[in-house]
Structure 1
Amino acid sequence: MIIPNVEVRLNARPLEARVLALRVAARISQPTQAEVTLAGPADGWPIGVPLRISIDDEMLFDGEVTAMELMRGPGSESAWVLRGYDLLHRLRKRQQPRVFENITVADLARALVADCGLEVECDNAGSPIPRLVQHRQTDWELLSQTAARHGVYLILDGDKLCLTKLRPRGEAIELKLGDTLWQARIEANVDRSLGSVTAIGWHAEQAEVRKEKATAPRRDNLPEIAVDATQTLVDQPLANLAEAAQAALDLSAARTVHLDGTARGNTALRPGRAVAVHGLADAVTGVHPLCSTIHTVTAEGYQTWFSTQPPSVAAAPSGASVTLGRVESVADPHGAGRVQVSLPAYGEVDLGWLSVLCPGAGPGKGIVALPDAGDLVVVALPHENPAEAIVLGSLYGPATPPDAGVEGGAVRRWTLHSGAGQSIVIDDEHKLVRLSNADGSRLELAPDLVTLCAHTDMVIEAPGHHLTIRSAAVDFEHAMLPEVIS
């Protein structure tokens, strides 16, 4: 192997120290990491300064120093190690609660990397996400997880962040076994191969179940292997059902045949680039997208390890969590009985218009008792995702209930109170039911007396029908208004 010329620049200044070893590891949807070992005493503590590494005048790494080690041997020999990441690592250090509305993966990437000086390139922006809530995730987790659910992978190419599918990009790099390709390992495995993927999810606001199916992977040059296996992704977020099904099928297809190899060192071998291999089995003859590369330079020379194995996608949360919210508005623009809710414990993020759990709800029926603006509510978060929230009910919190209904250490009374003073009381202690309004008019059903009291004019009518008053005796009495009785 030939030992190349390695140039290391700190803050645009070339280092005079001799490079003992170099390792640059890159993977799609991960920040690239570089580690360089240098001889001699350290030149200060350059944490956070720009770090650029070139091999034979070809740029291999452009990022910044994130860690440093000093080493001393028993013979007073010294060395120091610099470790750094590309600019995407900055996203792992940032996290803030916020909401994005009607945003594509490409638009999300632009918003998150805007202050890094990076341009975003995306062939297909995909369908917009109606509401995306960042809460516990860092900027990097939000971007990479959202992209993965849409079958999109992140690759930093210079100052350009590329959003790509699992397809070869650019002109293929030729590799020939015994020449530029030193060793290779090929695996064909249909154990996890799928013929189709179905994704099922439900619309929290409309309470509708929806389904999408993917039957053809988005990749050429795949081996013709008959696969009839199917997979069903259940309880999926509604925003990307079609993308989730397609992404799972694409990932399955990419894993069917994968190639690992070690080649002559070449800075052009990077994730997202394509390789055309020659001299191997017919199954891998053709163009393959690289998913991982590791460039190493040692005293033995320069080599590049590569793999076409795509990374695993982390499973999305399947559980649910509960938190408290505050109703900001009840003026649902669609008149669907939704309320606008914010989450104080999540940095006051606005969840928009949420459906409310109502007892007995159904077409033309149910108890409609919505919380009002300013009320505290219990909010369920399916998949631990605030964007899918549902209001379960209200809490009194620091306020005192109008009537707790407790007598003698037991609940003896149920009440329904409106905010303006109307009420219904079901009282087991006195065995009565009372319906009253704020003006004092009431209908009271008690064991020994039924009272209908009106504090205003009253009309009893049955237009077009008979009115029957049946009793052993009927008395008519004249009653003065309460305020004029002496």
Structure 2
Amino acid sequence: MTNGVALLNPYLKVLVQNQLLNVEIEADLISVLVSEDVAVPGMFELRLVTWDLVKQEMTWVDDKVFDIGNEVEIQMGYEQELKTIMVGEITGLEPEYTQETTPVLVVRGHDLRHRLLRGTQTKSFLKVKDSEIASQIARTRGLTAKVTDSQVKLDYILQHNQTDWEFLNQRAKRIGYEVAVEGKTLYFRPHANTQDKVLTLTYSENIQEFLPRLSTLSQVQELTVKGWSPQQKKEVLGKAGIGKEGGTMGGKVSGTKAVKKAFGNANQTIVNQPISSQAEADRMALGQFQEIAIAYITGEGSCQGNPHIRAGQVIEVLGLGKRFSGLYYIMTTEHYYSREQGYQTSFTVRRNAT
């Protein structure tokens, strides 16, 4: 983002079925909200007046433009910097009829992860990796898969009367992965908190509010996954600890190290998840240890609308003192545009070090 962007007028484009809204609908558009989350399907909300004052009749509430299932692309930003924030599908309509105000139509939709929520499945997977399962599920739901190899081949996995979303999200959490979507591409990957920053925000310059929280309570120095291998007929132990946090995000001391120095060792053992091999135990221990580590610092912030702030990206926040300035991984975002209030962005973040 350049400094000049802040001086430009907010800009919005909404496309339905690859067509821009016509001028009449656009004139009645009150506001647009897009919510992203690395943990659950993202959502969008369009609010528009649905009343013709001259003809005294309803307008867009019955228009085919807002038929269920229509694809919606929302672009936000500024005249010289407009980016697609979400591609989703209309999943609900909520008209608001009150005598005090003009009728309003609320159009709701979700990113394409919502397809994974439809219907439960019971099926088995043999001799396959979690990343391969993600690719299979993506294809059956009409999505392109882009997966990070989870490396461990599993003998037998059962999806037991679960939605594809419940099942795939469960598999991801076991190994510290996330299930994300960008347009029509589904990602199955580790948290991308080691990637390069996409922008820098500085307190008192281009960030309106930032509220970080450092908490030591969840931090452990070693995580052990304990299970039983039916093939080898013996106990298997997977371990991960200090030094395996997944980098320090530009900080000097990880939360796990800082907590050990202040309070001594604290270990955690997981015994309630099925494990079939040593490799699976090691992968689970590493993923879940890193999941704990990145929760050392959490926070939320807000700023003038910025289309580069997206869930699953890394940003740098400066001007907070040495302890809290640095890189943060974005977990959720909200992009809100209205004619009255302009364009605003809010977000939540995590960090594993200071």
TM class by shorter-chain length?
0.7 to 0.9
Matched with 1:47 is 68
Cα distance, 1:264 vs. partner? 1.6
Matched with 2:208 is 182
Residue 301 (1) aligns with residue 338 (2): no
Matched with 1:32 is 42
Cα distance, 1:179 vs. partner? 2.4
Structure 2 residue runs without a partner (length 5+): 1-5, 51-58
CA distance in 2 between counterparts of 1:142 and 1:36 reads: 30
SS in 1 for 2:115: helix
Residue 229 (1) aligns with residue 266 (2): yes
Matched with 1:209 is 235
- The structure, 1 or 2, with the larger RCO (C-alpha pairs under 8 Å, 6+ apart) is 2
SS in 1 for 2:165: helix
CA distance in 2 between counterparts of 1:304 and 1:71 reads: 26
Return the index of the structure with the highest Cα Rg.
1
Matched with 2:293 is 253
User: Which residue of the other structure, out of 94, 99, 107, is the alignment partner of 1:82?
Assistant: 107
Matched with 1:4 is 10
Cα distance, 1:245 vs. partner? 1.6
Matched with 2:53 is none
Cα distance, 1:25 vs. partner? 1.0
Mapping of residues 55-66 of structure 1, within 5 Å: 55-56=76-77, 57-66=82-91
User: Which residue of the other structure, out of 172, 191, 200, is the alignment partner of 2:226?
Assistant: 200
* Structure 2 letter corresponding to 1:103: V
Matched with 1:13 is 19
User: Which residue of the other structure, out of 283, 286, 296, is the alignment partner of 2:323?
Assistant: 283
SS in 1 for 2:114: helix
Cα distance, 1:223 vs. partner? 5.1
> Structure 1 vs Structure 2: percent identity of aligned residues?
24
Greater fraction helix = 2
CA distance in 2 between counterparts of 1:180 and 1:19 reads: 28
Q: What's the C-alpha RMSD, in Å, of the aligned pairs? A: 2.1
Aligned length: 310
Contact between 1:168 and 1:272, CA under 8 Å: does it hold in 2? Answer: no
What TM-score do the two structures reach when normalised by structure 2? 0.81
Matched with 1:464 is none
Matched with 2:125 is 100
Matched with 2:55 is none
SS in 2 for 1:137: strand
CA distance in 2 between counterparts of 1:95 and 1:37 reads: 32
CA distance in 1 between counterparts of 2:33 and 2:224 reads: 41
Cα distance, 1:123 vs. partner? 3.7
User: Which residue of the other structure, out of 135, 153, 171, is the alignment partner of 2:160?
Assistant: 135
Contact between 2:317 and 2:326, CA under 8 Å: does it hold in 1? Answer: yes
Contact between 1:169 and 1:289, CA under 8 Å: does it hold in 2? Answer: no
CA distance in 2 between counterparts of 1:25 and 1:168 reads: 23
Cα distance, 1:165 vs. partner? 2.0
What TM-score do the two structures reach when normalised by structure 1? 0.60
Cα distance, 1:65 vs. partner? 0.2
Cα distance, 1:170 vs. partner? 4.4
Contact between 1:49 and 1:64, CA under 8 Å: does it hold in 2? Answer: yes
